[in-house]
Amino acid sequence: MLSSPATAFAAFGLTISTDYYTVDTGAGLAFKVRRTDNGVSTQSPGDIMSLVYNGVEYQNQSRGSQINSGFDWLYNGVSSVSVSASVIDGNYVKVTVQAGSLTHYYLARNGHPNIYMATYFTAEPDVHGQVRYVVRIPSRLLPNGPRPSDIRNNTGAIESSDVFGMSDRTTRSKHYSNQRIIDYSYTGATGNGVGVFMIRSNHEGGSGGPFYRSLINQCGDDQELYEIVNYGEAQTEAFRTNVLNGPYILAFTNGGNPPAIDTSWLSNMGLTGYVPASGRGYVNGKANGIPSGFQGVVGFANSTAQYWSTVVNSNFYSPAMIPGTYTQTLYKGELAVASQTVTVTAGITTTKSITSTETTPAYLWRVGEWDGTPAGFLNADKITTMHPSDARMSSWGLVTFTVGNSATSAFPAYQWKGVNNPTTIRFNLASNQIANRTVRVGLTVAYSGARPILTVNNWSSSIPAISTQPTTRTLTVGTYRGNNTTYTFNVPASAFVTGTNTMTISVASGSGSTGFLSAGYAYDAVDIY
């Protein structure tokens, strides 16, 4: 819990004028929420139009901090926005923004330099097909943020209008500041004696699960900090509605990282969809069968909410969950290896252990690890923080991988029809190894209908079915995360020879563009048994 600063600040409270609700936190931060329509979506009712911290105005005055591009442009045919505010118990202020089917809250607590936010909607906003809150602060005041998303001084867009080149042939984009949801709790930037941070929510009303990656920052003329509620890029499941998304917190500091922040008081704020701790339940148990060296994660998901817990010493403990029946999934790394249902009841901790059902055939050889990621492959350490064309990438040229001689890092993390197709694997077989064999090719995501086809010496596979994958860009926007798919090829003994065998894996797709936007996929692992 934050303590009240010792410095003398203005009194906590709410001031009402024709155009604004002004909230003073009594902790050095005062903010204004617009009440009236200014005639443009970039300055709509419900926007934050002033963020004064320790006497300095941090809000971009030409454009508000807002959901998407403004509350009056969330739903087609809906431009009316209502804004109301009240003081609760003398120590809290609640500002409520109503726009179509969406309700957004700004809250303040006496003596705390934070803006607590939450968003509830019964229908997904359809103008942009997504929900994200964007904070816009001039970058001259807040210059130090995540470097991969700092697009200042770029030489122009190299893909769409959101991936940019730099003079040194490196690349930057708001997409490249992304991190797995499970790995971070806040993002932010700093300036002269100030730090501004977006502390993310628990994402129970989001979608995509614990490994979902999404943009969280961009620095151009403004330092933009994002809270992604529902985002349209690389989505693997339907959006969730009818659940309160929050709290997510805009926190101001004197330059240091934000401390732990108490939010238990929100249970008394009358927020639509808020489920207090007393109305939630828990799940714990043993997670069995995750080999040493792999992260174990237990996820829970239904149409209303999603949660996850890391496995420690084979034990897991869920966060507080909204009651209901969930699909409980055990992940080895990011690969689902078991699934079952579990019912969560308010006020009760349910014990429900889960055991991996992964099969582990005695393979002749394997490239990579079956963990749901391209980790260890060529450029895998760079693909989430830069464009594939970046000068820091190793060449994506054609690869011939020799089993027993080539390093795993020589095998491509990504393969595109128009860039590095096919990938060749050479391997030796003794005469007593000639038999009917199974080859598995695992993908973490596929773009534009891409799927692998196989040749072994003079034998060729049929073209397999297209997997269900996100419809947006993936391989160029910092994520390999999609729907893990394993393609199984039954190769007859007659295809093999004693001695050196040559296998090629090619991208099959009749669609797609060219280059790095041609049909392609990310590898998980390849093996034969």
405-430 pLDDT, tens digit per residue, is 999 999 999 999 999 999 999 999 99
DSSP per-residue codes, 219-251: ESSEEEEEEEEE--TT--SPPP-SS-EEEEEEE
Q: Would residue 272 count as lying in a domain?
A: no
Q: Do 445 and 296 reside in the same domain of the chain?
A: no
Q: ∠ CA(204), CA(180), CA(168), 5° rounding?
A: 145
Give the integer Cα–Cα distance in Å for 314 and 226.
34
Q: Is the pLDDT of residue 2 over 90?
A: no
Q: Do 349 and 415 reside in the same domain of the chain?
A: no
Q: Would residue 5 count as lying in a domain?
A: no
pLDDT value, residue 373: 98
Kindly report the CATH number assigned to the domain that includes residue 333.
Answer: 2.60.40.1120
Q: Would residue 201 count as lying in a domain?
A: yes
Give the integer Cα–Cα distance in Å for 116 and 113.
10
Residue after which a domain boundary falls, among 205, 235, 263: 263
pLDDT value, residue 40: 76
* DSSP assigned state of 464: P
Q: Would residue 44 count as lying in a domain?
A: yes
Q: Do 211 and 324 reside in the same domain of the chain?
A: no
Q: Do 401 and 256 reside in the same domain of the chain?
A: no
Task: Give the amino acid at 28.
Answer: G
Residue after which a domain boundary falls, among 222, 240, 263: 263
Average pLDDT, the chain: 96
Q: Is the pLDDT of residue 6 over 80?
A: no
- Mean pLDDT, residues 218-245: 95
Q: Which of 184, 185, 196 is nearest to 263 (CA)?
A: 185
pLDDT value, residue 4: 40
Q: Is the pLDDT of residue 521 over 70?
A: yes
Q: Do 505 and 374 reside in the same domain of the chain?
A: yes
Residue with the two structure tokens 């890029």: 233
Residue with the two structure tokens 């160029």: 476
pLDDT, tens digit (0-9, with 9 covering 90-100), for 233-245: 899 999 999 999 9
Q: Do 427 and 476 reside in the same domain of the chain?
A: yes
Q: ∠ CA(61), CA(194), CA(269), 5° rounding?
A: 75
Give the integer Cα–Cα distance in Å for 238 and 215.
19
Q: Is the pLDDT of residue 7 over 70?
A: no
pLDDT, tens digit (0-9, with 9 covering 90-100), for 28-82: 999 999 999 987 767 899 999 999 999 999 999 999 999 999 999 999 999 999 9
Q: Do 114 and 259 reside in the same domain of the chain?
A: yes
Q: Do 259 and 231 reside in the same domain of the chain?
A: yes
Structural domain of 109: 13-263
Q: What are phi and psi of 42, to 5 degrees?
A: -75, -10
Q: Do 208 and 321 reside in the same domain of the chain?
A: no
Cβ atoms of 6 and 111 closer than 8 Å: no
Kindly report the CATH number assigned to the domain that includes residue 76.
Answer: 2.70.98.10
Distance of CA 150 to the CA centre of its chain: 18
DSSP per-residue codes, 134-159: EEEEETTTS-B--GGGB-TT--EEEE
pLDDT, tens digit (0-9, with 9 covering 90-100), for 308-362: 999 999 999 999 999 999 999 999 999 999 999 999 999 999 999 999 999 999 9
- Mean pLDDT, residues 149-155: 98
**pTM for this model (two decimals):** 0.95
Residue after which a domain boundary falls, among 331, 355, 379: 355
pLDDT value, residue 41: 67
Q: Would residue 271 count as lying in a domain?
A: no
